[in-house]
Every structure is written in structure tokens, then in C-alpha cells.
């Protein structure tokens, strides 16, 4: 077995002991299943390639001899599809098990609740406040909920896609889905009491802000910090409350967070609604997966990456100082 | 002749638009001022309870308590929100009241019984929250005043403002003398470590 991983100093709890006692043995037990699954996937891959070869060969023979190659082609296609579907199923099954053991185990050790699929998440406010763009299809996965320094939170990964139709040269309509948002949706308990609705969205230049602003609820709030104003646009139905929430200190924290996480300063949007802080953070990669199955499950890098990914949850609470009861 | 009429008409439209903008900005300042007053009322409402409680424990601070009552009366005096000078006096009185309240809470630290009183700590929490709201209302007001004053002072706004009797308004600035004083680090360290300071203020019952 591989050496025990060095945990990040930012890890909120000492996970080494938990990893050694519970997760590492479970991963070791799964290692045999992983090897078997990889073998099966390779066999199915070889089968698919062979079927593809057979199909091409059959087609060539048919061209040369003039024989009907329908059954060869149909059979080969069937085999290719069956092999690929089987491989995907095996991969998904073993990966889901592994993910539950590693990610679920680490979350449990941190006092967090992890649900990889089939969960309830308050998505509607993200759409209503315009934190995420309009879309036709969405996939939410990997919900993590818990508490850090007395601040309750809940988050999940989201992939949002918009449906587009286009016609090819033959006049056939083709439906395509284009990704419009990929990242984390987070809900944090906010230490201040408020009634209204304040939304902070990335600045979209003068013209963009004007167009986007037309469809937004509330009035534009102009704040004193020029750097913040260059990065964000703020809309609220209460000018005073917006300033109560976005104090100069909190504006600086939001800027720092936007600069240090996600995909650059324009990847963060926030909304204050119903005594909660909602954050939508664009990030390209799929998080909380633990990695693929073609390497040993107990590799230290997997745990290090996961701890780093989970660290963002706590980093946000710490950067925004959400546990600050002095309310500044 | 027709060109003169067109130019004059154009100037009139421009002047009207400027006038509209001025009135809008003045109304915005009035709105911001009234939102400040809403928040200030919370502070005024808090004061009698705090004073009542403080009187029981802070026998040595009668002068401060009397001054606070006086400041509250001054701050609650009626004023015309359209007249800059009256608004300035009103906001100055509020600034003094805020400084007085801060002083009261600071002095209360020297009275252990008062400090440990649950009502007092609740009052201080509420005070901090109210001050947060007042600070927010102040920022809204100052932003509105900046826009108004720019429109009034920049030509031809100054001309139109003169006709429309729109005047510049004062900023709501905090003149907190306590905040300007240098911080005595030894005091802070002494408090946090529980080390008694020499020449400490009177304790209850002394």
C-alpha cells in the first residue's frame, strides 16, 4: 500500500487518523474490485475495437466480392455499443462506490454530510436572483452540507445547459446543448438580519450592465469602492440595506474571494436573500470526484486533492468572515 | 431667425432636462435623509432604556448621563430637510449623540456589575447593530449628496439650481473625537489579559 498522505495544514480537522483507521482499509479492500473492473473495461474496449475492425474488414470484403454486408455491419455496431455501454456501466459502478468511500468518508470525518446524487437543494433562488444564467437542462450532484465555526452551509456542483436548435444542409433539425454554467452553488447562513434582496453580479461592461440591468429586480446600488465597482454590479430593493450588508470591509473580502477562487475575478456572483448568502462560483473542473479508477485507490494524491477541494468551503467562510458576530 | 428659435428651443429643453435631474437628485437626498432618520429613531428609542439602567450603577457619571439626555433632545429637535444649514445642525447633533453613547459604553466597562448585566450587553449588541444600519444610511445619504452637489455646483447646474432654489446639502460626517485619539496599547493588552491597570476608573460601590 502507498504511504499515508500528508494532510494539508488548512484541513479543518486532523483526518490522518480517520483515514488510516477507516478509509484506507476500505480502499484497500476495494483495490481488488478496481483491478477486476479495469480488466473488464480493457476487455470490453478490445472487443469494441475488434468489432470495429471486423466491420471495416467486412465492408471491404463486401465491396470486393459484391456480397451483402448488412449483418456484419449491424452485428459489429451492436457489439461496439454493447461493449461501450458495459464498460461505462462498470466504470460508473466502481467509481460511485469508491467516491462514496473516499469523499463520503472524508466528509464524515469533517462532520459534513455528503450526498452524491438524489438530494434536495434550494436551486430556485439562484435562478430567481440571476446568479446563474437561464438554461433548459441541469444536473446537480455532490451535495455537501454542514457547519464550520458555527456557520451552517450547503453546496452542490451544478452543470447547466441551454438548448439550441440548428438546421444542417439537408434541412434536418439538430438539437444541441451548450454549457452555460459549471461550478459550485453555495448557501451560507449570514450573521446579519435583513429583509430585502441584494444581488452582486460580475461587471459586464457599460453596455452589458445596461442590458442586464433592465431585467433585474431592484435598483442599481453605486458603492464607494472603485475597485469593487469595476468588478461587480450591485442591485437591491433597499439601498440602505445593501450598504448595511456590503460594508467596506465585506466588499474587500468579496474582492479577495473573487480573485483567489474560481476562474478569475468575474467568476463569482452573490445574493443576500432570506437571511442567507448565496454564492455561485464558476469553476471548470468537476470537483469532489476523487479521480479516475485507472490508478490505485489509495494514492495519496487523491486525498490531498480532495482535501484541497473541500478547503474552499471553509476558505469562503474564513475569507468572508461569515462567523464574525461583530457583524462588520 | 428660425435657427435662433431652434437653438433657443434646444437650450430650453436642455435646461428643463437639467432641472428635472436636479429635482430628482434633491428628492433622492430627501429620501436618503428620511432613511437616516428612520435609523436614528432606533438609536433614540434605545437611549432611555440604556440611561435608566446606567443610572442605577453609574452614580459617578451623572454629568455624562445628563449630557446624553440633552444631546438626545437636541437631535430630536424638528428641522427643515430642504435647508442645508438646518440639516447640518441636525446631523451634527446626531454625531455628538453617537459619540456620547460610545463614551457611555466605554465608561460602562469600568463597572463590572453593569458590564455583566444581560440587559446591558443586549443593549450594546442592539446599539452596534443600529450603528451598522446608521452607517449604511449615512453612506446612502452621502452618495446622494455627492450627486446633488456635483449637479448644483457644475455650470450650468449652478445657474438652474439658483432659479429652482435647489441648494447643496451637507455631508453626514462623523466627528468622533474618541476615534481620533491614539490607542494606548498597554490599556488594550491590560484588558485582554485581565491585568488591572493603574489608576483605573471607579468600580461600583467605591
pLDDT given for residue A6 in this prediction: 43
Q: CA–CA separation, A123 vs A57, rounded Å?
A: 52
pLDDT given for residue B190 in this prediction: 46
pLDDT given for residue A136 in this prediction: 95
Q: CA–CA separation, A152 vs A191, rounded Å?
A: 10
- Work out the pLDDT band at A4, boundaries 50, 70, 90: very low
pLDDT given for residue B175 in this prediction: 61
* pLDDT tens digits along B43-54: 888 888 788 777
Q: Cell 485581565, residue?
A: B194
Residues 6+ apart with CB under 8 A from A282: A181, A182, A183, A262, A263, A267, A268
Number of cross-chain residue pairs from A and B with Cβ atoms under 8 Å apart: 33
A213 is written with which cell numbers?
A: 440591468
* pLDDT tens digits along A25-36: 888 888 888 999
pLDDT given for residue A287 in this prediction: 84
Q: CA–CA separation, A236 vs A168, rounded Å?
A: 44
Lowest mean pLDDT among A139-153, A226-240, A281-295, B57-71: B57-71
Q: CA–CA separation, A12 vs A262, rounded Å?
A: 21
Residues 6+ apart with CB under 8 A from B49: B119, B123
Give the mean pLDDT of B87-112. Answer: 85
Alpha helices in chain A (DSSP H): 16-18, 24-65, 70-99, 105-109, 124-128, 205-214, 226-231, 239-245, 248-260, 300-320
Whether B144 contacts B31, CB under 8 Å: yes
pLDDT exceeds cutoff 80 at A325: no
pLDDT given for residue A83 in this prediction: 92
Share of chain B above pLDDT 90, in %: 22
* Interface contact B128-A327, CB threshold 8 A: yes
Share of chain A above pLDDT 90, in %: 39
Q: Which of B39, B132, B137 sits opposite A327 (nearest CB)?
A: B132
Give the mean pLDDT of A278-302. Answer: 85
Q: Cell 437571511, residue?
A: A275
Q: From its phi and psi, is residue A152 left (phi > 0), alpha (psi between -120 and 50) or beta?
A: beta
Give the mean pLDDT of A267-291. Answer: 88
pLDDT given for residue B81 in this prediction: 84
Lowest mean pLDDT among A64-73, A154-163, A243-252, A272-281: A64-73
pLDDT given for residue A275 in this prediction: 85
Give the mean pLDDT of A33-45. Answer: 92
Share of chain B above pLDDT 70, in %: 83
* pLDDT tens digits along B176-205: 555 555 555 455 444 444 333 333 333 333
CB-side neighbour CA atoms (13 Å) of A260 = 13
pLDDT exceeds cutoff 80 at A155: yes
Q: State how far the alpha carbon of A114 is from the alpha carbons of A5, A48, A185, B132, B167, in Å.
A: 22, 36, 15, 37, 61
pLDDT given for residue A154 in this prediction: 94
DSSP string, A283-303: -SSPPS----SSS-TT-HHHH
* Interface contact A192-B140, CB threshold 8 A: no
Q: CA–CA separation, A236 vs A252, rounded Å?
A: 19
Q: What is the CATH number of domain B2-177?
A: 1.20.1440.20
Q: CA–CA separation, B177 vs A26, rounded Å?
A: 65
Residue A247 distance to chain B (closest CA, Å)? 8
Give the residue extent of every domain in chain B: 2-177
Give the mean pLDDT of A217-235. Answer: 90
| Between residues A324 and B163, the one the model is more confident about | B163
User: Which residues of chain A are within 8 Å of residue B133 when distances are taken between CB atoms?
Assistant: 240, 244
User: Which residues of chain A are within 8 Å of residue B139 when distances are taken between CB atoms?
Assistant: 224, 243
Q: Cell 430628482, residue?
A: B24
Q: CA–CA separation, B11 vs A277, rounded Å?
A: 49
Q: Does A195 touch chain B (CB under 8 A)?
A: no
Q: CA–CA separation, A162 vs A118, rounded Å?
A: 22
* pLDDT tens digits along A183-219: 999 999 988 888 899 999 998 888 888 887 777 788 8
- Assign 3-state DSSP to chain B and report helix, strand, coil percentages, each to 5: 80, 0, 20
B22 is written with which cell numbers?
A: 436636479
pLDDT given for residue B177 in this prediction: 54
* pLDDT tens digits along B144-159: 999 999 999 988 888 8
pLDDT exceeds cutoff 70 at A305: yes
Q: Which of A224, A239, A327 sits opposite B129 (nearest CB)?
A: A327
Q: What's the whole-number average pLDDT of chain A?
A: 86
* pLDDT tens digits along B24-33: 999 999 999 9
Q: Does A40 touch chain B (CB under 8 A)?
A: no
pLDDT exceeds cutoff 70 at A77: yes
Amino acid at each position: 500500500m502507498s504511504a499515508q498522505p500528508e494532510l494539508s495544514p488548512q484541513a479543518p480537522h486532523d483526518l490522518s487518523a480517520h483515514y488510516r483507521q477507516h478509509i484506507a482499509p476500505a480502499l484497500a479492500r476495494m483495490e481488488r474490485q478496481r483491478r477486476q473492473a479495469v480488466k473488464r473495461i480493457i476487455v470490453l474496449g478490445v472487443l469494441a475495437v475488434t468489432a470495429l475492425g471486423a466491420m471495416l474488414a467486412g465492408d471491404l470484403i463486401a465491396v470486393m466480392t459484391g456480397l451483402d454486408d448488412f449483418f456484419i455491419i449491424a452485428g459489429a455496431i451492436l457489439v461496439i455499443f454493447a461493449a461501450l455501454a458495459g464498460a461505462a456501466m462498470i466504470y460508473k459502478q466502481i467509481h460511485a462506490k469508491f467516491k462514496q468511500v473516499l469523499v463520503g468518508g472524508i466528509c464524515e470525518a469533517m462532520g459534513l454530510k455528503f450526498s452524491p446524487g438524489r438530494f434536495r437543494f434550494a436551486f430556485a433562488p439562484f435562478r430567481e436572483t440571476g446568479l446563474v444564467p437561464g438554461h433548459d437542462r441541469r444536473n446537480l450532484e455532490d451535495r455537501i452540507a454542514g457547519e464550520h465555526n458555527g456557520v451552517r452551509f450547503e453546496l452542490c456542483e451544478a452543470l447547466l445547459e441551454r438548448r439550441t436548435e440548428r438546421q444542417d444542409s439537408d434541412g434536418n433539425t439538430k438539437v444541441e446543448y451548450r454549457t452555460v454554467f459549471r461550478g459550485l452553488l453555495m448557501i451560507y447562513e449570514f450573521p446579519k438580519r435583513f429583509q430585502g434582496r441584494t444581488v452582486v453580479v460580475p461587471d459586464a461592461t457599460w453596455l452589458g450592465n445596461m442590458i442586464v440591468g433592465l431585467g433585474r429586480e431592484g435598483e442599481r446600488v453605486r458603492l464607494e469602492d472603485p475597485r469593487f465597482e469595476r468588478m461587480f454590479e450591485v442591485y437591491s430593493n433597499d439601498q440602505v440595506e445593501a450598504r448595511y450588508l456590503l460594508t467596506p470591509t465585506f466588499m474587500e473580502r468579496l474582492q479577495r474571494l473573487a480573485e483567489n477562487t474560481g476562474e478569475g475575478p468575474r467568476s463569482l456572483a452573490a445574493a443576500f436573500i432570506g437571511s442567507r448568502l448565496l454564492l455561485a462560483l464558476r469553476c471548470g473542473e468537476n470537483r469532489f470526484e476523487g479521480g479516475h479508477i485507472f490508478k490505485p485507490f489509495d494514492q495519496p494524491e487523491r486525498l490531498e486533492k480532495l482535501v484541497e477541494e473541500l478547503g474552499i468551503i471553509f476558505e469562503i467562510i474564513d475569507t468572508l468572515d461569515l462567523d464574525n458576530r461583530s457583524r462588520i | 431667425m428660425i435657427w435662433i428659435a431652434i437653438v433657443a428651443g434646444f437650450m430650453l429643453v436642455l435646461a428643463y432636462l437639467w432641472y428635472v435631474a436636479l429635482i430628482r437628485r434633491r428628492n433622492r437626498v430627501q429620501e436618503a435623509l428620511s432613511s437616516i432618520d428612520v435609523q436614528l429613531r432606533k438609536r433614540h428609542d434605545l437611549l432611555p432604556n440604556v440611561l435608566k439602567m446606567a443610572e442605577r450603577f453609574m452614580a459617578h457619571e451623572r454629568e455624562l448621563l445628563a449630557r446624553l439626555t440633552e444631546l438626545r433632545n437636541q437631535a430630536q429637535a424638528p428641522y427643515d430637510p430642504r435647508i442645508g444649514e438646518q440639516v447640518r445642525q441636525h446631523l451634527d447633533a446626531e454625531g455628538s449623540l453617537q459619540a456620547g453613547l460610545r463614551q457611555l459604553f466605554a465608561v460602562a466597562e469600568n463597572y463590572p456589575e453593569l458590564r455583566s448585566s444581560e440587559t446591558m450587553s443586549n443593549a450594546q449588541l442592539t446599539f452596534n447593530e443600529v450603528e451598522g444600519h446608521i452607517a449604511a444610511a449615512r453612506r446612502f445619504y452621502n452618495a446622494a449628496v455627492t450627486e446633488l452637489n456635483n449637479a448644483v455646483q457644475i455650470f450650468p447646474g449652478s445657474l438652474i439650481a439658483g432659479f429652482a432654489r435647489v441648494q447643496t446639502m451637507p455631508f453626514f460626517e462623523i466627528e468622533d473625537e474618541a476615534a481620533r485619539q491614539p490607542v494606548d496599547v498597554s490599556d488594550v493588552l491590560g484588558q485582554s489579559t485581565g491585568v488591572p491597570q493603574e489608576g483605573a476608573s471607579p468600580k461600583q460601590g467605591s
